[in-house]
Amino acid sequence: MNLDLTNHIAVVTGGASGIGRAAAEAFRAEGGRVAVWDLQPPSDAAALCDLFVSCDVSKLEQVQRALFETEKTLGPVDHLVHAAAIGSGHFGFPFTEVPVEAWPRVLEVNVMGMTHIAHVVAPGMRERKSGTCVFVASVAGQIGSPTDPPYSASKAANINFAQCMAKDLAPFGVRVNTVCPGMVQTPLNRRVWQGWHDRQPPELRKSYEEWADEKVRQVVPLGRWQTPADIANMIVFLSSPRAEQVTGQTINVDGGFVMHW
Protein backbone atom coordinates (compact mmCIF):
# COMPACT_ATOMS: atom_id res chain seq x y z
CA MET A 1 0.00 0.00 0.00
CA ASN A 2 1.43 3.36 -1.00
CA LEU A 3 1.04 5.71 1.96
CA ASP A 4 3.07 8.55 0.42
CA LEU A 5 5.89 8.26 2.94
CA THR A 6 8.80 7.93 0.52
CA ASN A 7 11.90 9.71 1.85
CA HIS A 8 10.07 10.86 4.97
CA ILE A 9 12.25 10.82 8.08
CA ALA A 10 10.91 8.73 10.97
CA VAL A 11 12.30 8.28 14.46
CA VAL A 12 11.31 5.09 16.26
CA THR A 13 12.22 4.82 19.92
CA GLY A 14 12.50 1.28 21.22
CA GLY A 15 12.93 0.25 17.61
CA ALA A 16 15.44 -2.54 18.16
CA SER A 17 12.78 -5.11 19.07
CA GLY A 18 9.09 -5.85 19.43
CA ILE A 19 6.52 -3.34 18.23
CA GLY A 20 9.13 -0.64 17.68
CA ARG A 21 11.10 -2.90 15.37
CA ALA A 22 7.96 -3.77 13.40
CA ALA A 23 7.22 -0.04 13.03
CA ALA A 24 10.74 0.64 11.74
CA GLU A 25 10.34 -2.18 9.21
CA ALA A 26 6.96 -0.85 8.12
CA PHE A 27 8.30 2.66 7.53
CA ARG A 28 11.18 1.26 5.51
CA ALA A 29 8.73 -0.81 3.45
CA GLU A 30 6.89 2.43 2.61
CA GLY A 31 10.10 4.08 1.43
CA GLY A 32 10.76 6.06 4.59
CA ARG A 33 14.17 6.72 6.12
CA VAL A 34 14.34 5.51 9.69
CA ALA A 35 16.37 6.37 12.76
CA VAL A 36 16.08 3.86 15.59
CA TRP A 37 16.76 5.09 19.11
CA ASP A 38 17.29 2.29 21.62
CA LEU A 39 19.63 1.17 24.36
CA GLN A 40 21.47 -1.43 22.29
CA PRO A 41 21.60 -1.93 18.52
CA PRO A 42 20.12 -5.09 17.00
CA SER A 43 22.55 -7.37 15.20
CA ASP A 44 21.04 -6.35 11.85
CA ALA A 45 20.90 -2.60 12.50
CA ALA A 46 22.25 -1.77 9.05
CA ALA A 47 19.37 -3.63 7.40
CA LEU A 48 16.72 -2.42 9.82
CA CYS A 49 17.32 1.32 9.76
CA ASP A 50 19.26 4.13 8.16
CA LEU A 51 20.68 5.29 11.49
CA PHE A 52 20.94 3.75 14.94
CA VAL A 53 21.46 5.99 17.97
CA SER A 54 22.05 4.60 21.44
CA CYS A 55 19.59 6.39 23.71
CA ASP A 56 18.05 5.96 27.16
CA VAL A 57 14.82 7.95 26.89
CA SER A 58 14.76 8.50 30.65
CA LYS A 59 17.83 10.75 30.24
CA LEU A 60 16.96 14.14 28.72
CA GLU A 61 20.49 14.85 27.54
CA GLN A 62 20.62 11.55 25.65
CA VAL A 63 17.36 12.35 23.86
CA GLN A 64 18.69 15.78 22.90
CA ARG A 65 21.87 14.21 21.54
CA ALA A 66 19.88 11.58 19.62
CA LEU A 67 17.84 14.27 17.87
CA PHE A 68 20.99 16.22 17.01
CA GLU A 69 22.65 13.15 15.48
CA THR A 70 19.49 12.23 13.58
CA GLU A 71 18.96 15.66 12.06
CA LYS A 72 22.63 15.97 11.21
CA THR A 73 22.60 12.64 9.37
CA LEU A 74 19.08 12.31 7.94
CA GLY A 75 17.44 15.72 8.23
CA PRO A 76 14.42 17.12 10.10
CA VAL A 77 12.11 14.55 11.66
CA ASP A 78 8.75 14.12 9.94
CA HIS A 79 7.37 11.31 12.09
CA LEU A 80 7.90 10.18 15.65
CA VAL A 81 6.95 6.73 16.95
CA HIS A 82 7.58 6.35 20.65
CA ALA A 83 7.55 2.67 21.56
CA ALA A 84 10.26 2.54 24.25
CA ALA A 85 8.79 1.25 27.51
CA ILE A 86 9.35 -1.16 30.36
CA GLY A 87 7.23 -3.07 32.86
CA SER A 88 7.90 -3.62 36.54
CA GLY A 89 8.45 -7.35 36.09
CA HIS A 90 5.93 -8.08 38.85
CA PHE A 91 2.45 -9.54 38.63
CA GLY A 92 0.44 -7.03 40.62
CA PHE A 93 -2.84 -8.54 41.73
CA PRO A 94 -3.44 -7.19 44.28
CA PHE A 95 -1.39 -4.06 43.65
CA THR A 96 0.39 -4.51 46.99
CA GLU A 97 2.21 -7.48 45.45
CA VAL A 98 4.34 -4.95 43.54
CA PRO A 99 6.91 -3.42 45.90
CA VAL A 100 6.89 0.36 46.03
CA GLU A 101 10.55 0.28 45.01
CA ALA A 102 9.55 -1.13 41.60
CA TRP A 103 7.55 1.95 40.62
CA PRO A 104 10.11 4.73 40.05
CA ARG A 105 12.04 3.15 37.17
CA VAL A 106 8.81 2.35 35.29
CA LEU A 107 7.65 5.95 35.66
CA GLU A 108 11.08 7.32 34.73
CA VAL A 109 11.12 5.39 31.46
CA ASN A 110 7.45 5.33 30.51
CA VAL A 111 6.27 8.75 31.70
CA MET A 112 9.36 10.93 31.86
CA GLY A 113 10.74 9.20 28.77
CA MET A 114 7.66 10.30 26.83
CA THR A 115 7.99 13.79 28.33
CA HIS A 116 11.61 14.06 27.21
CA ILE A 117 10.81 12.84 23.72
CA ALA A 118 7.90 15.27 23.38
CA HIS A 119 9.85 18.29 24.62
CA VAL A 120 12.78 17.55 22.33
CA VAL A 121 11.06 16.48 19.09
CA ALA A 122 7.81 18.46 19.01
CA PRO A 123 9.28 22.01 18.89
CA GLY A 124 10.88 21.38 15.48
CA MET A 125 7.61 20.01 14.10
CA ARG A 126 5.74 23.01 15.45
CA GLU A 127 8.23 25.38 13.85
CA ARG A 128 7.97 23.59 10.49
CA LYS A 129 4.16 23.32 10.86
CA SER A 130 4.32 19.68 9.91
CA GLY A 131 4.76 16.30 11.54
CA THR A 132 3.12 13.37 13.28
CA CYS A 133 3.61 11.67 16.61
CA VAL A 134 2.33 8.22 17.50
CA PHE A 135 2.75 7.02 21.05
CA VAL A 136 2.47 3.34 21.82
CA ALA A 137 0.42 2.93 25.00
CA SER A 138 -1.62 -0.14 25.96
CA VAL A 139 -5.15 -1.28 26.64
CA ALA A 140 -3.81 -1.73 30.19
CA GLY A 141 -3.87 2.07 30.43
CA GLN A 142 -7.60 2.17 29.78
CA ILE A 143 -8.99 -0.59 31.96
CA GLY A 144 -6.88 -0.52 35.11
CA SER A 145 -5.29 -3.84 34.27
CA PRO A 146 -4.06 -5.46 37.48
CA THR A 147 -1.35 -7.51 35.82
CA ASP A 148 1.28 -4.76 36.29
CA PRO A 149 -0.08 -1.63 38.05
CA PRO A 150 2.99 0.60 37.48
CA TYR A 151 2.89 -0.20 33.77
CA SER A 152 -0.88 0.32 33.58
CA ALA A 153 -0.66 3.66 35.37
CA SER A 154 2.17 4.84 33.12
CA LYS A 155 0.23 3.94 29.99
CA ALA A 156 -2.82 5.86 31.24
CA ALA A 157 -0.50 8.85 31.64
CA ASN A 158 0.79 8.37 28.08
CA ILE A 159 -2.75 8.45 26.69
CA ASN A 160 -3.63 11.60 28.60
CA PHE A 161 -0.44 13.47 27.73
CA ALA A 162 -0.81 12.59 24.05
CA GLN A 163 -4.24 14.23 24.08
CA CYS A 164 -2.74 17.35 25.68
CA MET A 165 -0.10 17.42 22.97
CA ALA A 166 -2.69 16.93 20.22
CA LYS A 167 -4.63 19.98 21.39
CA ASP A 168 -1.53 22.14 21.71
CA LEU A 169 -0.03 21.16 18.35
CA ALA A 170 -3.14 21.02 16.16
CA PRO A 171 -2.96 24.75 15.25
CA PHE A 172 0.50 24.07 13.84
CA GLY A 173 -0.60 21.16 11.65
CA VAL A 174 1.08 18.52 13.84
CA ARG A 175 -1.00 15.42 14.56
CA VAL A 176 -0.65 13.30 17.72
CA ASN A 177 -2.30 9.94 18.30
CA THR A 178 -1.96 6.95 20.59
CA VAL A 179 -2.08 3.29 19.57
CA CYS A 180 -2.98 0.75 22.24
CA PRO A 181 -1.90 -2.83 21.60
CA GLY A 182 -3.85 -5.61 23.21
CA MET A 183 -2.34 -9.06 23.62
CA VAL A 184 0.98 -9.08 21.79
CA GLN A 185 3.68 -11.71 22.20
CA THR A 186 6.59 -9.49 23.16
CA PRO A 187 9.34 -10.06 25.76
CA LEU A 188 7.74 -7.41 27.99
CA ASN A 189 4.36 -9.14 27.90
CA ARG A 190 5.99 -12.54 28.54
CA ARG A 191 7.72 -11.30 31.70
CA VAL A 192 4.44 -10.13 33.23
CA TRP A 193 2.33 -13.06 32.08
CA GLN A 194 4.98 -15.54 33.24
CA GLY A 195 4.49 -14.28 36.78
CA TRP A 196 0.75 -14.73 36.40
CA HIS A 197 1.22 -18.23 35.02
CA ASP A 198 3.56 -19.26 37.80
CA ARG A 199 0.88 -18.50 40.40
CA GLN A 200 -1.40 -21.21 39.10
CA PRO A 201 -1.81 -24.18 41.48
CA PRO A 202 0.62 -26.96 40.60
CA GLU A 203 -2.18 -29.44 39.94
CA LEU A 204 -3.74 -27.08 37.35
CA ARG A 205 -0.54 -25.79 35.81
CA LYS A 206 0.00 -26.16 32.07
CA SER A 207 2.93 -25.13 29.94
CA TYR A 208 3.19 -21.37 29.59
CA GLU A 209 2.34 -21.53 25.88
CA GLU A 210 -0.80 -23.62 26.43
CA TRP A 211 -1.95 -21.48 29.34
CA ALA A 212 -1.34 -18.15 27.55
CA ASP A 213 -3.07 -19.24 24.34
CA GLU A 214 -6.06 -20.38 26.37
CA LYS A 215 -6.22 -17.02 28.16
CA VAL A 216 -6.12 -15.14 24.87
CA ARG A 217 -8.95 -17.21 23.41
CA GLN A 218 -11.00 -16.49 26.54
CA VAL A 219 -10.60 -12.70 26.60
CA VAL A 220 -10.06 -11.61 22.97
CA PRO A 221 -13.21 -11.69 20.81
CA LEU A 222 -11.21 -12.45 17.65
CA GLY A 223 -9.62 -15.29 19.60
CA ARG A 224 -5.97 -14.80 18.77
CA TRP A 225 -2.83 -12.90 19.67
CA GLN A 226 -2.06 -9.64 17.94
CA THR A 227 1.36 -9.38 16.32
CA PRO A 228 3.86 -6.51 16.31
CA ALA A 229 3.13 -6.11 12.59
CA ASP A 230 -0.57 -5.60 13.35
CA ILE A 231 0.31 -2.67 15.59
CA ALA A 232 2.89 -1.30 13.15
CA ASN A 233 0.35 -1.22 10.32
CA MET A 234 -1.85 1.14 12.36
CA ILE A 235 1.12 3.26 13.41
CA VAL A 236 2.28 3.82 9.86
CA PHE A 237 -1.25 4.54 8.63
CA LEU A 238 -1.74 7.19 11.34
CA SER A 239 1.58 8.73 10.33
CA SER A 240 0.56 8.98 6.69
CA PRO A 241 -1.42 11.61 4.76
CA ARG A 242 -4.26 9.04 4.57
CA ALA A 243 -4.98 9.93 8.20
CA GLU A 244 -4.63 13.69 7.81
CA GLN A 245 -7.87 14.36 9.74
CA VAL A 246 -7.04 12.05 12.64
CA THR A 247 -5.53 13.58 15.77
CA GLY A 248 -5.98 13.26 19.51
CA GLN A 249 -7.29 9.72 19.13
CA THR A 250 -6.62 6.57 21.12
CA ILE A 251 -6.93 3.63 18.77
CA ASN A 252 -6.94 0.06 20.01
CA VAL A 253 -5.44 -2.78 18.01
CA ASP A 254 -6.59 -5.49 20.36
CA GLY A 255 -8.82 -8.00 18.61
CA GLY A 256 -11.85 -6.42 20.28
CA PHE A 257 -10.62 -6.90 23.84
CA VAL A 258 -11.69 -3.39 24.91
CA MET A 259 -15.07 -2.25 23.63
CA HIS A 260 -16.53 1.06 24.80
CA TRP A 261 -20.31 1.01 24.84
3-state per-residue secondary structure call for 159-215: HHHHHHHHHHHHHHCEEEEEEEECCECCHHHHHHHHHHHCCCCHHHCCCHHHHHHHH
Give the global pTM.
0.92
**Cβ(185)–Cβ(225) below 8 Å:** yes
Considering the domain boundaries, does residue 201 fall inside one? no
Structural domain containing residue 160? 9-184+227-253
Burial class (CB in 10 A: 0-12, 13-18, 19+), 149: buried
Q: Residue 248's pLDDT is what? A: 98
In a domain, 204, yes or no: no
pLDDT for residue 1: 65
Q: Is residue 136 part of a domain?
A: yes
CA 20-23-27 angle, 5° bins: 145
Active site residues: 151
Asked if residue 86 is part of any domain, the answer here is: yes
Torsion of CA 42, 43, 45, 47, to 10 degrees: -130
State the total domains in the chain: 1
Residue 25 lies in a domain: yes
212 in a structural domain: no
In a domain, 206, yes or no: no
In whole angstroms, give the CA distance from residue 65 to residue 60: 9
Residue 261: per-residue pLDDT: 59
Would you give the end-to-end CA distance of the chain in angstroms?
32
* pLDDT value of position 134: 98
The whole-number mean pLDDT for each consecutive block of 10 residues of the chain, a chain of 261 residues, reads 92 96 97 98 95 98 98 98 93 85 97 98 98 97 88 97 98 98 82 75 82 88 94 98 98 91 59
The CATH number that applies at residue 69 is: 3.40.50.720
- What is the SS3 assignment for 128? helix
Amino acid identity, position 220: V
The reply to whether 135 falls in a domain is yes
218 in helix, strand or coil?
helix
Q: How far apart are CA 165 and CA 82, in angstroms?
A: 14
Tell me how far CA of residue 96 lies from CA of 146, 183, 199, in angstroms.
11, 24, 15
